[in-house]
Chain A
Amino acid sequence: MPAARLGRVRLYARRFTRSRSALTGVVIFVLLVVYATAGGHLAGRDWSAQDFLALTRPPGPGHWFGTNQGGNDVLAQSVHGLQRSLVIALSVSALTTVVSAVAGAGAAYLGGRVERLTLLIIHFLLVVPSFLILALVSNRVSGDWRILIPLLTFVTAVLPARVIWSVSTSLRERDYVLAAEFMDVSRWRIVARHIIPHLGALLVVNLMLGVVNAVLLETALSFLGFGVKTPDVSLGSLLADGGSTISSAPWLFAVPAGLLVLLTVSLTLIGDGLRDALDPTSAAGGRG
């Protein structure tokens, strides 16, 4: 029934747009994406190009956000860094959602040995200092951002997988799962078509808040020098550069710090708005 589906989506949209803070989040996030994709033209030069006539120059005409010690334009660098951080965080969060949903729901439905093994791995990873493992491996692969993505996914998927597992243990007892079993639907198909769709709201919220989590983790790693490394830049490594000259050249710190906070705050506002909109008991969109 397409009409009913449309109605539900429209209801979610109405609830979401009613929240002023969620809309603010969307506007900030869209502006940041525009900045990351088109901001390069504003700078007028490549992020890795060095201007030896302007070393550590404060913000002003020509270099709107100033330059760093090597004469790199901070505006161009921040655009590139934001791009890197966004690509890493968005793909990590998407992968984390898929992995945690399949692992959590799969373990809950398949049961037996698969469930015990998955839970063992999850509980073990909750105890072992995961940040240390992350730093060890990421330092070894010397900061290639493409390898950073599966690595961060592995660490961030643990907690959501545990939550999804505990929610799915009640879903697997439902009558429609039993009905599907009687109709001889294959086991993975039941997981994919009958269990995971019922986790929709949880997964959407996880997706948004997972991006925040990934941004913070990537920033922490790159700040310590174990994540994205020179010559490449991300917001975290820019922050580390700015931190060393914080009193002599504060703009090197202020630009990536401002972008980071705007990014994480906007994503959290969107995530909260989505949670309210998708919550069946929500009061956000009931009236009118």
Chain B
Amino acid sequence: MVRYVVRKACGWLLLIVVATNVTFFLASWFLDPRSNYRDLRPVRSREQIAHALEPYGLSPDWSVVHRWWFWLSDVVLRFDWGHSPTGVPVNAEIPQRALVSGQLILLGTLASVVIGVALGVWTATRQYGLADRAALAVSIVLFNVPTAVGALAFVLGAVWLNQRAGTTVLHVASASTPGVEGTWASITDRAGHLILPTLNLTVLGYVSWHLTQRALLLDTINADFVRTARATGLTRAQAVRRHALRASLIPTVTSIAFTIPAVFTGAIITETVFGWEGMGRYFTQTIARNDVDGVVAVAAFGAAATAIGAILSDLATVALDPRVRAS
């Protein structure tokens, strides 16, 4: 089991390394760190700009391979992910932001999968009933709501609620209130800020799980092995739960990893709307500020999130599917 996980992790690590390095070349190609200095007054000369960028390994006089080597050796030898063109170290930004985005992505994915699968099972056992039709109609509409529209609608609703209540019931901006002291107070404060963004990711994310799980369970619910299970004396609910559901969960679980990039894209927009200083905001800020090293760090975070999801879904597949051997 441990060997299986290690082998999988090594494969993903290789992919992360490749993806990160390719992003470095793409970012160096499409972003121009010099533009951060062009608007400064007094006007800087070409040499002055190159001189200012050199300590960060971003000098335009260096070849791309030279810059890449500077960046790579810093990452490998000192785990230093570089600097923005104005000298802010990437390492100072990442831990806090990764934590903020990590909890958003984790909670959003978990809640979406649990709610979506539960709803899929519940409606599949009532196919073409009133509950099934109603849930399907809601899901088809939600499936088509762009993340930005959903997030802004939540803000609108929360602002209205806060005005009606006269106090701040739901926080609509930033990840925490500045100046909150004490462990317990800051935990409840952070949790309060988490509600709306997580709700947004969940409401728009559960839909695909609902629809696929419903279709998958409908495929297996009339299978011969479920009828055999009924014949041994199980009730319909028991047969569905122990036999049909377990078989139909396998494809769902394997696809969790491949939805994480989409969740991350959703998190970028959600963080923008709710003013969270996470990796998603960092994504937009670094691209807008021509911050090559920052963009590469975001790509590495995205790839790492996908890898973690993939390994977890592999483990779950091993637990669910007796045909997959982990040795």
| Residues in A lying within 8 Å of B, measured CB to CB | 124, 126-133, 135-137, 139-140, 212, 215-216, 219-220, 223-226, 236, 239-240, 242-243, 246-247, 250, 253, 257, 260-261, 264-265, 267-269, 272
The 3 closest A-B pairs by CB, nearest first: A264-B144, A129-B302, A257-B149
Q: Is B303's CB under 8 angstroms from A127's CB?
A: yes
Task: Identify which of A127, A137, A140, A236 contacts B148 (C-beta below 8 A).
Answer: A236
Task: A246 to B162: give the CA distance in the assembly, Å.
Answer: 14
- Bitwise interface map of B from 125 to 151 toward A, beta carbon under 8 Å scored 1, else 0: 000000000000000110111111100
Q: Is B141's CB under 8 angstroms from A261's CB?
A: yes
Q: Is B146's CB under 8 angstroms from A264's CB?
A: yes
Residues of A contacting B258 in the complex (Cβ-Cβ under 8 angstroms) = 126
B264 within 8 A of A: yes
Residues of A contacting B31 in the complex (Cβ-Cβ under 8 angstroms) = 136, 140
- Bitwise interface map of B from 51 to 62 toward A, beta carbon under 8 Å scored 1, else 0: 000000000000
Instruction: Quote the shortest CB–CB distance from A19 to chain B (angstroms).
Output: 13
Interchain pairs with CB closer than 8 A, number = 116
Residues of A contacting B140 in the complex (Cβ-Cβ under 8 angstroms) = 265, 268-269, 272
Known: A129-B261, A220-B269. A136 touches B149 (CB 8 A): no
Q: Is A260's CB under 8 angstroms from B149's CB?
A: yes
Task: Identify which of A127, A219, A246, A265 contacts B156 (C-beta below 8 A).
Answer: A246
Which residue of B has the minimal Cβ distance to A133?
B26
Which residue of A has the minimal Cβ distance to B310?
A127
B259 within 8 A of A: no
Q: Is B27's CB under 8 angstroms from A136's CB?
A: yes
Which residue of B has the minimal Cβ distance to A219?
B146
Task: Identify which of A128, A215, A216 contacts B299 (C-beta below 8 A).
Answer: A128
Instruction: Quote the shortest CB–CB distance from B193 to chain A (angstroms).
Output: 18
- The stretch among B99-107, B220-228, B280-288, B319-327 that forms the contact with chain A is B280-288
Report which residue of A216, A224, A242 has the largest number of chain B beta carbons within 10 angstroms of its beta carbon. Answer: A224
Residues of A contacting B268 in the complex (Cβ-Cβ under 8 angstroms) = 131, 220, 224
Task: A250 to B147: give the CA distance in the assembly, Å.
Answer: 17
Q: Is B152's CB under 8 angstroms from A246's CB?
A: yes
Q: List 26 A-B contacts (CB under 8 A).
A: A128-B19, A129-B302, A131-B261, A131-B268, A132-B23, A132-B298, A132-B299, A135-B287, A136-B27, A137-B30, A139-B30, A139-B288, A220-B148, A220-B269, A223-B272, A226-B287, A239-B146, A239-B149, A242-B152, A243-B148, A246-B156, A247-B159, A253-B156, A261-B149, A264-B145, A268-B140
Given contacts A242-B152, A243-B273, 11 further A-B contacts (CB under 8 A): A126-B258, A130-B261, A131-B261, A132-B302, A139-B30, A224-B272, A239-B148, A257-B152, A261-B149, A264-B144, A265-B140
Q: Is B284's CB under 8 angstroms from A220's CB?
A: no
Task: Identify which of B141, B146, B156, B264 contacts A129 (C-beta below 8 A).
Answer: B264
Known: A127-B306, A212-B144, A253-B156. A136 touches B269 (CB 8 A): no
Known: A129-B264, A132-B23, A133-B26. A246 touches B155 (CB 8 A): yes
Residues of A contacting B284 in the complex (Cβ-Cβ under 8 angstroms) = 135, 224-226
B window 86-141: CB within 8 A of A: 140-141
Q: Is A140's CB under 8 angstroms from B30's CB?
A: yes
Task: Identify which of A131, A239, A267 contacts B265 (C-beta below 8 A).
Answer: A131
B window 143-176: CB within 8 A of A: 143-149, 152-153, 155-156, 159
Task: A241 to B183: give the CA distance in the assembly, Å.
Answer: 38
Q: By the criterion of a CB under 8 Å from any partner CB, how many residues of chain B are at the interface?
A: 41
Which residue of A has the minimal Cβ distance to B22?
A128
Residues of A contacting B23 in the complex (Cβ-Cβ under 8 angstroms) = 128-129, 132-133
B15 within 8 A of A: yes
Residues of B contacting A242 in the complex (Cβ-Cβ under 8 angstroms) = 152
Q: Is B147's CB under 8 angstroms from A220's CB?
A: yes
Task: A223 to B23: give the CA distance in the assembly, Å.
Answer: 23
Which residue of B has the minimal Cβ distance to A131?
B265
Residues of A contacting B147 in the complex (Cβ-Cβ under 8 angstroms) = 220
Residues of B contacting A124 in the complex (Cβ-Cβ under 8 angstroms) = 18, 22
Residues of B contacting A216 in the complex (Cβ-Cβ under 8 angstroms) = 146
Known: A127-B19, A247-B156, A257-B152. A139 touches B269 (CB 8 A): no
Task: Identify which of B148, B159, B287 contacts A223 (C-beta below 8 A).
Answer: B148
Residues of A contacting B146 in the complex (Cβ-Cβ under 8 angstroms) = 215-216, 219-220, 223, 236, 239, 260-261, 264
Q: Is A265's CB under 8 angstroms from B144's CB?
A: yes
B295 within 8 A of A: yes
Residues of B contacting A240 in the complex (Cβ-Cβ under 8 angstroms) = 148
Residues of A contacting B26 in the complex (Cβ-Cβ under 8 angstroms) = 133, 136
Task: A190 to B269: give the CA distance in the assembly, Å.
Answer: 44
- Bitwise interface map of B from 256 to 295 toward A, beta carbon under 8 Å scored 1, else 0: 0010010011001100110000000001100110000001
Residues of B contacting A136 in the complex (Cβ-Cβ under 8 angstroms) = 26-27, 30-31, 287, 295
Report which residue of B144, B287, B302, B306 has the largest number of chain A beta carbons within 10 angstroms of its beta carbon. Answer: B144
Instruction: Quote the shortest CB–CB distance from A68 to chain B (angstroms).
Output: 15
Task: A267 to B26: give the CA distance in the assembly, Å.
Answer: 34
Residues of B contacting A137 in the complex (Cβ-Cβ under 8 angstroms) = 30
